[in-house]
Chain A
């Protein structure tokens, strides 16, 4: 799982609550990403950020929000507007230049709505 940490590993949420998932990296990467993984659907991109204080919506951004105030950190908030938030959430980071362009992933957070 490299130099990326995600916390918590498991998270339980009641309906109507907002929750924030943490992602920190010490790889000095400019770009960071949030994915959602559901069985049989692979990984779907929620948000990504190429540089501090800037981020873009991915394919399934509705009901989620992010911030990128520091290079090392890219927290994801799952809001009450997300109708089906139960899933496995993965954070990743990558360089934005040079030959090392692969993404490195954290260990993931499993979110369950009660």
Chain B
């Protein structure tokens, strides 16, 4: 079965420092991987995705993610964190066997707190 895991409930980082939010996955076949961000009481916003091609994917708001097939990971990164990056981040993988072409399986989310 397809699955995705976010091992950290919360990540704390000082403003200006690099940040990493971790995600690992388990799929049959080639993975389609996504990162979303959620601000309080709002819907999810799409950040970036990996389908194929370069292992380093660049997305919105200066975020990027590195696909590592051998480690089955898709960690979200940003070189310099901003206080405004503080939010809940979700990793997701496309479910190949649910019948819907783009049905997603979401991780439990990681709360990013950036201190001034």
Contacts and interface: CB of A to CB of B under 8 A. Distances in A.
Contacts of A90: 43-44
A107 B43 contact: yes
Nearest to B91: A42
B46 A43 contact: no
Query: Contact size class for B?
Result: 20 to 34
Interface stretch (A63-71, A77-85, A94-102): A94-102
Nearest to B105: A45
Query: Contact size class for A?
Result: 20 to 34
Interface centre among B32, B103, B108, B109 (most CB of A within 10 A): B103
A96 B101 contact: yes
A106 B101 contact: no
B102 A96 contact: yes
A56 B102 contact: no
A73 B35 CA distance: 26
Contact of B99 (A50, A102, A110): A50
Contact of A105 (B43, B102, B103): B43
Nearest to B42: A107
Interface in A22-56: 31, 33, 35, 40-43, 45, 48, 50, 56
A1 B107 CA distance: 20
Contacts of B34: 102-103
